[in-house]
Amino acid sequence: MYFCFVCEYRTETVKKLISHFNSEHKLKNFAVYKCAQKNCLQHFSSKWSFAKHLNRHEKYANDDNLSLNNVKSNSESFNNTDRSSYNCTKPESHICKTDNNPNDKIIGSAVIFSCELYSKNYLSSSIQKNVSNICKILVANIKDTLKNEIDIPLTNKLREVFKLCSDPLQYVNTEYKFFKYIQSKNLFHSFSEHTINNEIVPRIRLGNPTLAETNSKAYITPLRFQFKKNFELKSLLRKTLNNTQFLQNQTQYSNFVNGSIFKSKEQKIGKGKLIIPYFLYSDDFETNNPLGSHTTKDSIRGCYYSFPTIPQYLLSSLEFILLSNLVI
């Protein structure tokens, strides 16, 4: 069943819905189309991309119906999880227990699973959520099978394991819980907000001169924290220092450390100290505008940094071009 985002019209085919937009609402080929399907918030700028998106909804709806029919015994648990992603009531009461929780390994695996899943930008949020729910049902079924096969009395720790396996994503099934958990493990540091510009400027609105307030804010993460976490990665610090020494021993100019600027900085800091240079640069982009950021209406400036002396095979990886702050 497909729904109109303008009125209450509903139909069973995408073709009829597109015809309804043309005849009743006079929507052109290039207009803002909003998906009104359940748990979907996507917008499209053309009729064809919107129709293609709706056809994918039909495909995944059939897959979901098939999977749910096979797990009817867990339908109540599935529905409770579906609501919990929108209703985050007192999540700190769950997260605070993870510090001394014997099931930290399971929770850590759930965090890794969530990071891998939500890093796939080509998957819509509804698909990512369906994958999480199906995985939760799969783990719950395995837990029930093992619990029924064990004849010996369960210890308290084993009961806790089975309880956690009933919903392994309970600590990370919302953004609030996810960031709260990784922050409690000292893996994330929240942004600090700073106002860098706030002024009254003249504007023309509807042909009349007026005044408007413009402000720019920067959201910054501490570089000290980021540097520490990056070089705590396995053997990255050792490989970077070895590569820096190798580059400095080159007779030809092959890296920043061979130049006079780095050598002068090294002399000022003093010999015998570890020096790792980094480059800080910025780039503008504009949301909802794939052609560029020249209008600056919704322009955002991202500031990034990279380390020029890390091994070459890591230097070309996007994972080591890191975000420093955003200016909005």
Residue pLDDT, tens place only, 21-72:
888 888 877 777 888 876 566 777 788 888 888 887 765 454 434 333 333 3
Alpha helices, DSSP H, located in 166-325: 175-184, 223-231, 236-248, 260-269, 312-315
Neighbours of 286 (CB within 10 A): 16
Between the alpha carbon of residue 266 and those of residues 242, 272, 280, the distances in Å are: 17, 10, 19
The β-bridge relationship of strands 322-327 and 208-220 is antiparallel
pLDDT computed for residue 87 by the predictor: 32
Weakest-pLDDT range from 5-9, 10-14, 39-43, 74-78 = 74-78
Give the C-alpha separation, 55 to 133, whole Å. 22
Nearest to 171 by CA among 110, 99, 237: 110
Give the C-alpha separation, 326 to 319, whole Å. 18
Residue 171 CB partners (closer than 8 Å, separation 6+): 94, 95, 98, 107, 110, 111, 177, 178, 181
**Phi first, then psi: what are they for 9, rounded to 5°?**
-70, 140
pLDDT computed for residue 86 by the predictor: 31
**Per-domain residue ranges for the chain?**
1-70, 73-184, 192-327
Q: Which helix (H) or strand (E) holds 205?
A: strand 192-205
Q: What is the 3-state secondary structure (H, E, C) of 96-155?
A: HHHHHCCCHHHHHHHHHHHHHHHCCCCCCHHHHHHHHHHHHHHHHHHHHHHHHHCCCCCC
Contact predicate 48/21, CB 8 Å = no
Assess whether pLDDT exceeds 90 at residue 307: yes
pTM above the 0.85 mark?
no
Assess whether pLDDT exceeds 60 at residue 202: yes
CATH fold of the domain at 1-70: Double Stranded RNA Binding Domain (3.30.160)
